[in-house]
C-alpha cells in the first residue's frame, strides 16, 4: 500500500510539473519598446493587452523616452518588438536624423492605424494658423526624443518657417512638452486625435483645437521632406475627434509594429494573427484604434516585413 501510494504521489508530481512546463511555454513573455507617455504609449498598451489576452503570448511594454532609445535594443535582440510611426521607422533603419547608427535588423510586423497629428492650441487662442506661431513660445530641443524636433520642424516648414522664427522653449521629451502646454509655458504642443492628453487639456484650458496645415502641393512637399511617407488630409469633425471643430487639413502617417529580424517566425506569425482576429477587442482598447483595418495590416511601408509576418499574411489571404 505504501509503495502504491508513493507511486501515485510521484505520478501526480510529474503531471503537475508537466502542466507547469506547458503553461510556461504557452505563455512566452516578450518585450515591446514604447514611449513613456502620450499616444504611442496608449497604442502600445492596447496592443500588448489584446495580444496577451488573445494570442497566447505575454507582451510587456518597456517604456523609454522614445524610439531612438529602444530601437537599438530591438535591433540587437535585447527586446523583441518596438512601435513607432512609419516616418520615424525609416530614420531608425537608415541611422539618420534621429539616431547616429543604422538599425538594419528591424523588420515590419504589422501596419496598425493612420495617425492624424499636428499642433494644438487653446480653443480661444488668437493663433489660427501655423504662420501665427511666429515669435510665439514653441517646444524645442527634444534631447531625449528627437522625433519631436523632426515633427515640429516639418510642421513649421509647411508654413515656410523654422524654429528660428519662434521663441524656443527647451523640453527633453514629450511628457515635458505636454506639461509645458498644460501650464501655458508654450502656446502649443504636438497632438494626435484620440490621445488622452487632449481630454486633459480640454478640461484644464477650456478647450483645444488643431491648427490647419496648408494643403497646397508646395507646402505639403515642404513637410514631407522632414516627415517622409506622410500626407495632408482634410479631417472632418466627428465624435471622438476632439480638437477638430471644423474641416481641418492635418498631417497623416501610419503607425507600425516592428520586430528584430531574428525573432522566431512562429512568434511573429502569432502576433499578426492575433491582431487580425481581434478587431473588436482592439477598437475597444481606445479611440486610437478607431480606424484599425485588419485588411491593411500588410500595407507597404517601405520597410521589409519579417518572414513570420509574411507567412501569416499569406495564410490570411493578405499576401505581400
- pLDDT tens across 311-320, in order? 999 999 996 6
Check: CB of residue 88 under 8 Å from CB of residue 228: no
Check residue 28 and give its pLDDT.
81
Residue 83 in domain: yes
CA distance 294 to 251: 23
Q: Are residues 242 and 267 in the same domain?
A: no
Q: Are residues 78 and 185 in the same domain?
A: no
Helices and strands in the chain, H and E counts: 11, 10
**Domain ranges, residue 102:** 28-114+254-315
Check residue 9 and give its pLDDT.
43
Check residue 37 and give its pLDDT.
86
CATH number at residue 80: 3.40.190.10
Grid cell for residue 83: 512601435
> CB 272: neighbour CB atoms within 10 A?
28
Return per-residue pLDDT of the chain as tens, 320 residues.
Answer: 444 554 444 454 444 344 333 443 456 899 999 999 899 999 999 999 999 999 989 999 999 999 999 999 999 999 999 999 999 999 999 999 999 999 999 999 999 999 999 999 999 999 999 999 999 999 999 999 999 999 999 999 999 999 999 999 999 999 999 999 999 999 999 999 999 999 999 999 999 999 999 999 999 999 999 999 999 999 999 998 999 999 999 999 999 999 999 999 999 999 999 999 999 999 999 999 999 999 999 999 999 999 999 999 999 999 66
Q: Are residues 105 and 215 in the same domain?
A: no
Residue 4 in domain: no
E strand map for the chain: 28-35, 57-64, 81-85, 106-122, 137-141, 167-171, 189-192, 208-210, 231-235, 248-260
Q: Are residues 159 and 89 in the same domain?
A: no
Long-range pairs for 239-242 at CB < 8 Å and ≥24 separation?
240/193, 240/194, 240/287, 240/290, 241/193, 242/193, 242/198, 242/199, 242/202, 242/208
The structural domain count of the chain equals 2
Residue 3 in domain: no
Q: Are residues 108 and 160 in the same domain?
A: no
Report pLDDT digits (tens) over 54-103. Answer: 998 999 999 999 999 999 999 999 999 999 999 999 999 999 999 999 99
Predicted TM-score (pTM) above 0.85? yes
Residue 21 in domain: no
Q: Are residues 120 and 109 in the same domain?
A: no
C-alpha torsion sign, points 111, 114, 119, 123: negative
Report pLDDT digits (tens) over 24-62. Answer: 345 689 999 999 989 999 999 999 999 999 998 999 999
Residue 8 in domain: no
Nearest alpha carbon to residue 99 among 82, 120, 117: 82
Q: Are residues 225 and 260 in the same domain?
A: no
CA distance 288 to 281: 13
Q: Are residues 216 and 160 in the same domain?
A: yes
Q: Return the residue matching grid coordinates 494643403.
A: 215
Q: Are residues 207 and 190 in the same domain?
A: yes
Residue 10 in domain: no
In the 8-state DSSP scheme, what is residue 121?
Answer: E
Residue 7 in domain: no
Residue 19 in domain: no
Amino acid at each position: 500500500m505504501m509503495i502504491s501510494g508513493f507511486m501515485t504521489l510521484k505520478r501526480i508530481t510529474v503531471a503537475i510539473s508537466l502542466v507547469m512546463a506547458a503553461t510556461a511555454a504557452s505563455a512566452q513573455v516578450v518585450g515591446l519598446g514604447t514611449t513613456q507617455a502620450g499616444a504611442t504609449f496608449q497604442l502600445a498598451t492596447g496592443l500588448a493587452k489584446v495580444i496577451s489576452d488573445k494570442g497566447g503570448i505575454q507582451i510587456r511594454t518597456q517604456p523609454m523616452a522614445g524610439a531612438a532609445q529602444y530601437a537599438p535594443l530591438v535591433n540587437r535582440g535585447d527586446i523583441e518588438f518596438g512601435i513607432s510611426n512609419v516616418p520615424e521607422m525609416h530614420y531608425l533603419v537608415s541611422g539618420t536624423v534621429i539616431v547616429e547608427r543604422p538599425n538594419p535588423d528591424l523588420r515590419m510586423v504589422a501596419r496598425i492605424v493612420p495617425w492624424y497629428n499636428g499642433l494644438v492650441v487653446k480653443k480661444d487662442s488668437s493663433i489660427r494658423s501655423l504662420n501665427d506661431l511666429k515669435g510665439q513660445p514653441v517646444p524645442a530641443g527634444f534631447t531625449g526624443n528627437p522625433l519631436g524636433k523632426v515633427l515640429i520642424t516639418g510642421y513649421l516648414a509647411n508654413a515656410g518657417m523654422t524654429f528660428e522664427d519662434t521663441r524656443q522653449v527647451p523640453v527633453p521629451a514629450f511628457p515635458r512638452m505636454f506639461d509645458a502646454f498644460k501650464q501655458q509655458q508654450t502656446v502649443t504642443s504636438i497632438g494626435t486625435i484620440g490621445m488622452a492628453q487632449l481630454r486633459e487639456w480640454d478640461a484644464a484650458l477650456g478647450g483645444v483645437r488643431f491648427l490647419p496645415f496648408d494643403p497646397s502641393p508646395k507646402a505639403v512637399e515642404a513637410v514631407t521632406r522632414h516627415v517622409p511617407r506622410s500626407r495632408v488630409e482634410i479631417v472632418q469633425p466627428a465624435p471622438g475627434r476632439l480638437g477638430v471643430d471644423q474641416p481641418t487639413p492635418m498631417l497623416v502617417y501610419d503607425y507600425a509594429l516592428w520586430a528584430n529580424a531574428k525573432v522566431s517566425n512562429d512568434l511573429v506569425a502569432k502576433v499578426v494573427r492575433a491582431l487580425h482576429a481581434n478587431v473588436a477587442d482592439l477598437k475597444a482598447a481606445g479611440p486610437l484604434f478607431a480606424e484599425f483595418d485588419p485588411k491593411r495590416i500588410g500595407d507597404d511601408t517601405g520597410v521589409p516585413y519579417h518572414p513570420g509576418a509574411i507567412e501569416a499574411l499569406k495564410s490570411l489571404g493578405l499576401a505581400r
